[in-house]
Chains A and B, each alone.
Chain A
Amino acid sequence: MNINFTLIAQAIAFAVLIWFTVKFVWPPLLKAIEARQKEIADGLAAAADGRSALEVAAKKSEVTLTEAKQKASEIIAQAEKRGTQIIEEAKGNAKVEGDRIIAGAKAEIDQEVNRAKEGLRAQVSTLAIAGAEKILRKEIDAKAHSELLAKLAAEL
């Protein structure tokens, strides 16, 4: 085994190679690999976020759907209730109106009857006077007995 200057030469070569690797080889490789690792980690995190967001959205949509269904059935029930209410109201109104019309008609009829009675009464008194005139032409003075006759006509 002859140790000689080769040892020193090799040690220098080794030192240069180490320097070269430390300076030029390792850093770019490390940078690239770490950047990729970060990218992958970010991607996985984003995917997880997306999954959880999807879950939340699904839950939310379910809740909204049940709410909407509930509201819809409420509205329908309310509408039905309102419908019957309106019908009842209309029935009531119609009855009142009908009663009112009937009452009006009755009053009018009464009035007509009264008016006809008045007319008849007046005509009967006139006829009675005319008949009495014909019978008592000379005996009865229209002017003297008009007060008596008016009293008679009012009693009829």
Chain B
Amino acid sequence: MATEHADNAQHAEHALTPSGYIEHHLSFNAQPLNESAGFWTLHVDTFVMSVALGLLVMGFVWLIARKATAGVPSRGQAFVELVFGFVDDQVKNIFHGNRHSFIAPTALTVFLWVFAMNSMDFLPVDWVAGIVSFFGGPDAKWRAVPTSDINTTFALALSVWILMIFFAIKVKGLGGFIHELFCAPFGSKIWVWPANFLFNLIEYVSKPLSHSLRLFGNMYAGEVIFLLLGLWAATGVTGTIAGAILGAGWSIFHILIVALQAFIFMMLTVVYLAMAHESH
């Protein structure tokens, strides 16, 4: 994306045009880590929001888990156990091994963290911009939804991908892993090796892409629609009211998307990690 160029152009005119409004809301608070910038740039907003949310939700669950009792559970523990049971059931149905040592806790982390990050979409976009510009001036940028940053979703998907390969090698051995690259799914005859390898290659490339882009696309599109609805406020009172009503509707519908995407992301994580454990 050519945000940097757009940013510069926006600095110059600073007029409140529809494209400028959307541009501003979709710009990251990008801080270069050295002079060359480029790859060495950190989206401070994405990072701060995601880490804060991660600490918040996992910290909450930890506080409950620390005092967890086998007796009558408190309300907080009952709620956490509900989520625990939900995640554990899903993992149990997909993965048939010792899920408690790694996969189930990972699924819980993914579900809660992604859910919390997705939920930032409920914050009214202009309130976030308003608060940020109050503290940081009109040029300050802050994107509140970490999962609408491709870096976040790709980081998660790539981590899962690395874990996938790690488990595949750990379970089948390096030889078994390479053997499967060439001998599955069409068989071990030498003339189907290229087809098998191509098939596996496409699978290994498409998994992290579809995994990450599904979440990113949903959250990004959701944000853009909020921004488009917010634009209506520029047309006057009628537009403001219409935008507010539609925005409320979209928010309500978005509750479903937020939960569903978090769930799908978790399920795919579990499925990919479970598949890595299976031999063909």
Contacts and interface: CB of A to CB of B under 8 A. Distances in A.
Interface of A: 1-11, 13-15, 17-18, 20-22, 24-33, 35-36, 39
A7 B153 CA distance: 8
B105 A26 contact: yes
Contacts, number: 127
Residue of B66, B85, B106 most packed against chain A (CB within 10 A):
B106
Given A6-B42, A7-B158, A25-B62, A32 B102 contact: no
B79 to A, nearest CB: 12
B106 A22 contact: yes
A13 B68 contact: no
A24 B68 CA distance: 12
Contacts of A17: 54, 58, 109, 113
B100 A30 contact: yes
Interface in B19-70: 30, 33, 38-43, 46-47, 50-51, 54, 58, 61-62, 64-66, 68-70
Closest 9 CB pairs of A and B: A35-B70, A10-B155, A32-B68, A6-B151, A26-B105, A11-B155, A4-B41, A6-B43, A7-B151
Interface in B95-110: 100-102, 104-106, 108-109
Contact of B42 (A5, A18, A21, A26): A5
29 contacts: A1-B150, A2-B41, A3-B151, A5-B40, A6-B151, A7-B152, A10-B146, A10-B151, A11-B159, A13-B50, A17-B58, A18-B109, A20-B58, A21-B58, A22-B106, A24-B62, A24-B65, A25-B65, A25-B108, A26-B104, A28-B66, A29-B61, A30-B84, A31-B70, A32-B65, A32-B68, A32-B69, A32-B70, A33-B68
